[in-house]
Amino acid sequence: MCLTVVRHNLHVAAAHRKLIDDLLKPLDVPHLFFKGHSLAARYYDDPAMRFCRDIDVLVSHDHIVELLEVAYAIGYTPHDPVELTMDRVSLDFVARAQPVITLRSPQGVLIEFHQRIDKTGSIYEPSELLANAETLILSDNNKVSVMPTAELFVYVCMHHTRHQWTRLHWLVDLDAIQRHPSFDWNAVYACASRRNLTATVEASQELYMALATPDFLSCQLSANGKEILGTCLNALQGDLDLGTELALRKKRAAPDFAFAWQASTAHLLRWRVQGWIKRWQPNYKDYHSWPLPLQWQWLYFFIRPFRELFKRLSSNSYSK
Protein backbone atom coordinates (compact mmCIF):
# COMPACT_ATOMS: atom_id res chain seq x y z
CA MET A 1 0.00 0.00 0.00
CA CYS A 2 2.86 2.37 0.80
CA LEU A 3 4.46 1.64 -2.58
CA THR A 4 1.14 2.35 -4.29
CA VAL A 5 0.92 5.72 -2.52
CA VAL A 6 4.51 6.59 -3.45
CA ARG A 7 3.93 5.61 -7.09
CA HIS A 8 0.79 7.75 -7.27
CA ASN A 9 2.59 10.68 -5.65
CA LEU A 10 5.41 10.42 -8.18
CA HIS A 11 2.80 10.76 -10.94
CA VAL A 12 1.42 13.82 -9.12
CA ALA A 13 4.92 15.32 -8.82
CA ALA A 14 5.52 14.79 -12.54
CA ALA A 15 2.17 16.38 -13.41
CA HIS A 16 2.96 19.27 -11.06
CA ARG A 17 6.26 19.91 -12.84
CA LYS A 18 4.65 19.69 -16.30
CA LEU A 19 1.90 22.08 -15.22
CA ILE A 20 4.54 24.65 -14.29
CA ASP A 21 6.78 24.11 -17.32
CA ASP A 22 4.07 23.80 -19.98
CA LEU A 23 1.39 26.21 -18.75
CA LEU A 24 2.06 28.51 -15.82
CA LYS A 25 5.55 29.67 -16.81
CA PRO A 26 4.99 30.14 -20.57
CA LEU A 27 1.71 31.99 -20.00
CA ASP A 28 3.08 33.97 -17.02
CA VAL A 29 -0.06 33.16 -15.01
CA PRO A 30 -0.23 34.51 -11.43
CA HIS A 31 -0.82 31.38 -9.37
CA LEU A 32 -0.76 29.92 -5.88
CA PHE A 33 -0.37 26.22 -5.07
CA PHE A 34 -1.97 25.06 -1.82
CA LYS A 35 -2.54 21.70 -0.11
CA GLY A 36 -1.27 18.52 -1.74
CA HIS A 37 2.16 18.26 -3.35
CA SER A 38 3.36 21.78 -2.51
CA LEU A 39 2.40 21.34 1.16
CA ALA A 40 4.21 18.00 1.33
CA ALA A 41 7.28 19.39 -0.44
CA ARG A 42 7.65 22.24 2.04
CA TYR A 43 6.71 20.69 5.37
CA TYR A 44 7.27 16.92 5.18
CA ASP A 45 10.66 15.24 5.65
CA ASP A 46 9.60 12.60 3.11
CA PRO A 47 7.10 14.32 0.78
CA ALA A 48 6.38 11.16 -1.23
CA MET A 49 4.74 9.56 1.81
CA ARG A 50 2.05 12.26 2.07
CA PHE A 51 -0.87 11.16 -0.12
CA CYS A 52 -2.05 13.74 -2.67
CA ARG A 53 -5.22 12.97 -4.60
CA ASP A 54 -4.90 15.88 -7.00
CA ILE A 55 -3.25 19.27 -7.54
CA ASP A 56 -4.92 22.45 -6.32
CA VAL A 57 -3.86 25.77 -7.81
CA LEU A 58 -5.42 29.20 -7.45
CA VAL A 59 -5.30 31.30 -10.63
CA SER A 60 -6.67 34.73 -11.37
CA HIS A 61 -10.01 34.97 -13.16
CA ASP A 62 -8.40 37.11 -15.88
CA HIS A 63 -6.16 34.20 -16.99
CA ILE A 64 -8.42 31.18 -16.59
CA VAL A 65 -9.86 31.10 -20.14
CA GLU A 66 -6.47 31.39 -21.83
CA LEU A 67 -5.08 28.77 -19.45
CA LEU A 68 -7.86 26.30 -20.29
CA GLU A 69 -7.46 26.86 -24.03
CA VAL A 70 -3.74 26.14 -23.99
CA ALA A 71 -4.13 23.20 -21.58
CA TYR A 72 -6.63 21.55 -23.92
CA ALA A 73 -4.34 22.12 -26.90
CA ILE A 74 -1.49 20.20 -25.21
CA GLY A 75 -3.51 17.20 -24.07
CA TYR A 76 -5.43 18.09 -20.91
CA THR A 77 -9.03 16.85 -20.91
CA PRO A 78 -12.17 18.07 -19.06
CA HIS A 79 -13.17 16.31 -15.84
CA ASP A 80 -15.52 18.74 -14.09
CA PRO A 81 -17.57 19.73 -15.92
CA VAL A 82 -16.95 16.63 -18.01
CA GLU A 83 -19.13 18.04 -20.82
CA LEU A 84 -16.91 21.12 -21.17
CA THR A 85 -16.27 22.15 -24.76
CA MET A 86 -13.22 24.25 -25.51
CA ASP A 87 -14.64 26.96 -27.73
CA ARG A 88 -14.26 30.53 -26.47
CA VAL A 89 -17.93 31.13 -25.66
CA SER A 90 -18.11 27.92 -23.63
CA LEU A 91 -14.95 28.75 -21.67
CA ASP A 92 -16.08 32.31 -20.96
CA PHE A 93 -19.35 30.93 -19.59
CA VAL A 94 -17.79 28.24 -17.38
CA ALA A 95 -15.26 30.76 -16.02
CA ARG A 96 -18.15 32.92 -14.82
CA ALA A 97 -20.40 30.09 -13.62
CA GLN A 98 -17.99 27.66 -11.93
CA PRO A 99 -15.34 28.73 -9.37
CA VAL A 100 -13.39 25.44 -9.63
CA ILE A 101 -12.71 23.80 -13.01
CA THR A 102 -11.01 20.41 -13.05
CA LEU A 103 -8.95 19.00 -15.90
CA ARG A 104 -7.16 15.68 -16.22
CA SER A 105 -3.50 16.02 -17.15
CA PRO A 106 -1.87 13.90 -19.89
CA GLN A 107 -0.36 11.89 -16.99
CA GLY A 108 -3.89 11.14 -15.70
CA VAL A 109 -3.66 13.42 -12.64
CA LEU A 110 -6.56 15.70 -11.73
CA ILE A 111 -5.76 19.43 -11.70
CA GLU A 112 -8.22 21.70 -9.92
CA PHE A 113 -8.01 25.29 -11.17
CA HIS A 114 -9.54 27.46 -8.43
CA GLN A 115 -10.71 31.01 -8.91
CA ARG A 116 -11.24 31.25 -5.14
CA ILE A 117 -10.30 28.95 -2.25
CA ASP A 118 -13.37 29.27 -0.03
CA LYS A 119 -16.86 28.24 -1.04
CA THR A 120 -18.66 31.52 -0.40
CA GLY A 121 -15.89 33.91 -1.43
CA SER A 122 -16.35 35.90 1.79
CA ILE A 123 -13.26 34.74 3.72
CA TYR A 124 -10.40 35.01 1.23
CA GLU A 125 -9.80 37.58 -1.51
CA PRO A 126 -7.99 35.80 -4.39
CA SER A 127 -6.07 38.89 -5.54
CA GLU A 128 -4.75 39.42 -2.00
CA LEU A 129 -3.60 35.81 -1.73
CA LEU A 130 -1.84 35.99 -5.09
CA ALA A 131 -0.14 39.28 -4.18
CA ASN A 132 1.13 37.96 -0.82
CA ALA A 133 2.36 34.57 -2.07
CA GLU A 134 5.81 33.29 -1.17
CA THR A 135 8.23 31.50 -3.48
CA LEU A 136 9.07 27.85 -2.80
CA ILE A 137 11.98 26.17 -4.58
CA LEU A 138 11.21 22.49 -5.17
CA SER A 139 13.75 19.68 -5.26
CA ASP A 140 13.90 19.95 -9.08
CA ASN A 141 14.74 23.69 -8.75
CA ASN A 142 11.33 24.74 -10.03
CA LYS A 143 9.96 27.85 -8.33
CA VAL A 144 6.30 27.89 -7.31
CA SER A 145 4.11 30.35 -5.45
CA VAL A 146 2.66 29.16 -2.15
CA MET A 147 0.89 30.59 0.90
CA PRO A 148 2.96 31.94 3.81
CA THR A 149 3.10 29.35 6.59
CA ALA A 150 0.71 31.15 8.96
CA GLU A 151 -1.87 31.69 6.22
CA LEU A 152 -1.63 28.07 5.12
CA PHE A 153 -1.99 26.73 8.67
CA VAL A 154 -5.18 28.75 9.22
CA TYR A 155 -6.55 27.64 5.85
CA VAL A 156 -5.71 24.00 6.61
CA CYS A 157 -7.60 24.21 9.91
CA MET A 158 -10.63 25.62 8.10
CA HIS A 159 -10.50 23.21 5.14
CA HIS A 160 -9.84 20.03 7.12
CA THR A 161 -12.51 20.90 9.69
CA ARG A 162 -14.98 21.50 6.87
CA HIS A 163 -14.33 17.90 5.83
CA GLN A 164 -14.55 16.65 9.45
CA TRP A 165 -10.89 15.52 9.45
CA THR A 166 -11.76 12.36 7.52
CA ARG A 167 -8.19 11.71 6.34
CA LEU A 168 -5.31 10.63 8.57
CA HIS A 169 -2.80 12.65 6.55
CA TRP A 170 -4.78 15.80 7.38
CA LEU A 171 -4.04 15.15 11.06
CA VAL A 172 -0.37 14.77 10.20
CA ASP A 173 -0.46 18.14 8.38
CA LEU A 174 -1.02 19.86 11.73
CA ASP A 175 2.13 18.28 13.11
CA ALA A 176 4.28 18.74 10.01
CA ILE A 177 3.51 22.45 9.61
CA GLN A 178 4.04 23.22 13.31
CA ARG A 179 7.47 21.58 13.23
CA HIS A 180 8.65 23.76 10.32
CA PRO A 181 11.14 26.58 11.17
CA SER A 182 8.85 29.19 9.60
CA PHE A 183 5.94 28.40 11.94
CA ASP A 184 5.05 31.20 14.38
CA TRP A 185 2.00 31.07 16.66
CA ASN A 186 1.79 34.85 16.90
CA ALA A 187 1.52 35.10 13.11
CA VAL A 188 -1.02 32.27 13.06
CA TYR A 189 -3.32 33.92 15.61
CA ALA A 190 -3.01 37.29 13.87
CA CYS A 191 -4.01 35.66 10.60
CA ALA A 192 -6.84 33.68 12.23
CA SER A 193 -8.19 36.86 13.82
CA ARG A 194 -8.08 38.68 10.48
CA ARG A 195 -10.03 35.84 8.84
CA ASN A 196 -12.48 35.40 11.77
CA LEU A 197 -11.23 31.83 12.14
CA THR A 198 -9.76 31.95 15.66
CA ALA A 199 -12.30 29.48 17.09
CA THR A 200 -11.56 27.05 14.24
CA VAL A 201 -7.79 27.22 14.81
CA GLU A 202 -8.13 26.81 18.59
CA ALA A 203 -10.43 23.78 18.25
CA SER A 204 -8.13 22.23 15.64
CA GLN A 205 -5.17 22.65 17.98
CA GLU A 206 -7.14 21.00 20.78
CA LEU A 207 -7.79 18.10 18.41
CA TYR A 208 -4.07 17.90 17.66
CA MET A 209 -3.03 17.98 21.33
CA ALA A 210 -5.66 15.40 22.29
CA LEU A 211 -4.59 12.93 19.59
CA ALA A 212 -0.95 13.45 20.59
CA THR A 213 -1.87 12.15 24.06
CA PRO A 214 -2.07 8.35 24.55
CA ASP A 215 -5.19 8.60 26.72
CA PHE A 216 -6.84 11.28 24.60
CA LEU A 217 -10.38 10.50 25.77
CA SER A 218 -9.47 11.79 29.24
CA CYS A 219 -8.22 15.15 27.96
CA GLN A 220 -9.93 18.29 29.22
CA LEU A 221 -11.36 19.93 26.11
CA SER A 222 -13.62 22.86 25.44
CA ALA A 223 -17.10 22.23 24.03
CA ASN A 224 -15.79 23.03 20.55
CA GLY A 225 -12.79 20.74 21.01
CA LYS A 226 -15.00 17.85 22.15
CA GLU A 227 -17.31 18.29 19.17
CA ILE A 228 -14.49 18.37 16.64
CA LEU A 229 -12.77 15.34 18.24
CA GLY A 230 -15.99 13.33 18.32
CA THR A 231 -16.77 14.12 14.70
CA CYS A 232 -13.22 13.25 13.64
CA LEU A 233 -13.31 9.85 15.37
CA ASN A 234 -16.71 9.13 13.87
CA ALA A 235 -15.55 10.13 10.38
CA LEU A 236 -12.34 8.08 10.55
CA GLN A 237 -14.44 4.94 11.06
CA GLY A 238 -16.22 5.59 7.77
CA ASP A 239 -16.05 3.60 4.57
CA LEU A 240 -13.93 3.88 1.44
CA ASP A 241 -16.83 5.09 -0.71
CA LEU A 242 -17.10 8.27 1.44
CA GLY A 243 -20.60 7.40 2.60
CA THR A 244 -19.90 8.55 6.16
CA GLU A 245 -18.30 11.81 5.05
CA LEU A 246 -21.11 12.56 2.63
CA ALA A 247 -23.66 11.99 5.38
CA LEU A 248 -21.76 14.38 7.68
CA ARG A 249 -21.62 17.01 4.93
CA LYS A 250 -25.40 17.31 5.03
CA LYS A 251 -25.12 18.60 8.60
CA ARG A 252 -22.76 21.46 7.76
CA ALA A 253 -23.73 24.86 9.09
CA ALA A 254 -22.49 26.46 5.86
CA PRO A 255 -20.37 25.34 2.87
CA ASP A 256 -17.16 26.56 4.52
CA PHE A 257 -18.00 25.41 8.05
CA ALA A 258 -18.96 22.08 9.56
CA PHE A 259 -20.10 23.65 12.84
CA ALA A 260 -22.23 26.70 13.63
CA TRP A 261 -19.70 27.98 16.22
CA GLN A 262 -17.11 28.49 13.47
CA ALA A 263 -19.10 31.21 11.72
CA SER A 264 -20.46 34.57 12.73
CA THR A 265 -24.18 35.25 12.50
CA ALA A 266 -23.49 37.64 9.61
CA HIS A 267 -21.66 34.89 7.69
CA LEU A 268 -24.46 32.37 8.22
CA LEU A 269 -27.12 34.86 7.13
CA ARG A 270 -25.06 35.83 4.10
CA TRP A 271 -24.75 32.18 3.09
CA ARG A 272 -28.48 31.57 3.43
CA VAL A 273 -29.18 34.44 1.07
CA GLN A 274 -26.34 33.40 -1.23
CA GLY A 275 -27.45 29.78 -1.21
CA TRP A 276 -30.99 30.70 -2.19
CA ILE A 277 -29.75 32.92 -5.03
CA LYS A 278 -27.21 30.36 -6.21
CA ARG A 279 -29.92 27.73 -6.58
CA TRP A 280 -31.40 29.75 -9.43
CA GLN A 281 -28.19 30.91 -11.07
CA PRO A 282 -27.31 29.26 -14.40
CA ASN A 283 -24.63 26.57 -14.36
CA TYR A 284 -22.69 24.84 -17.10
CA LYS A 285 -25.35 22.15 -17.53
CA ASP A 286 -27.73 24.89 -18.64
CA TYR A 287 -25.23 26.06 -21.23
CA HIS A 288 -24.39 22.54 -22.39
CA SER A 289 -28.03 21.61 -22.90
CA TRP A 290 -28.67 24.78 -24.93
CA PRO A 291 -25.50 26.66 -26.01
CA LEU A 292 -26.35 30.32 -26.53
CA PRO A 293 -24.11 33.17 -27.71
CA LEU A 294 -23.07 35.73 -25.13
CA GLN A 295 -25.75 38.27 -26.02
CA TRP A 296 -28.52 35.71 -25.40
CA GLN A 297 -27.22 34.05 -22.24
CA TRP A 298 -29.47 36.21 -20.04
CA LEU A 299 -32.21 33.78 -21.07
CA TYR A 300 -30.69 31.16 -18.75
CA PHE A 301 -31.93 33.14 -15.75
CA PHE A 302 -35.50 32.56 -16.94
CA ILE A 303 -34.94 28.93 -18.00
CA ARG A 304 -33.09 27.89 -14.83
CA PRO A 305 -36.13 27.91 -12.46
CA PHE A 306 -38.07 25.60 -14.77
CA ARG A 307 -35.11 23.20 -15.06
CA GLU A 308 -34.74 23.16 -11.27
CA LEU A 309 -38.46 22.57 -10.79
CA PHE A 310 -38.45 19.73 -13.33
CA LYS A 311 -35.43 18.13 -11.62
CA ARG A 312 -37.12 18.26 -8.22
CA LEU A 313 -40.40 16.85 -9.54
CA SER A 314 -38.55 14.05 -11.35
CA SER A 315 -36.58 13.27 -8.19
CA ASN A 316 -39.75 13.10 -6.08
CA SER A 317 -41.49 10.88 -8.62
CA TYR A 318 -38.52 8.52 -8.73
CA SER A 319 -38.32 8.28 -4.93
CA LYS A 320 -42.00 7.35 -4.76
Q: Are 154 and 184 in contact (CB under 8 A)?
A: no
Model confidence at 234, pLDDT cuts 50, 70, 90, reads: confident
Q: What is the pLDDT of residues 251-272, one digit of tens each?
A: 777 888 989 899 877 777 777 7
pLDDT the model gives residue 7:
86
Q: What is the pLDDT of residues 142-177, one digit of tens each?
A: 788 999 999 999 999 999 999 889 888 899 999 999
Residue 30 pLDDT greater than 50, yes or no: yes
Q: What is the pTM of this model?
A: 0.89
CA distances from 2 to 7, 8, 26, 51, 270 (A): 9, 10, 35, 10, 44
In the chain, domain spans: 1-147, 149-267, 280-315
Model confidence at 238, pLDDT cuts 50, 70, 90, reads: low
pLDDT the model gives residue 319:
46
CATH code: domain 1-147 is: 3.30.460
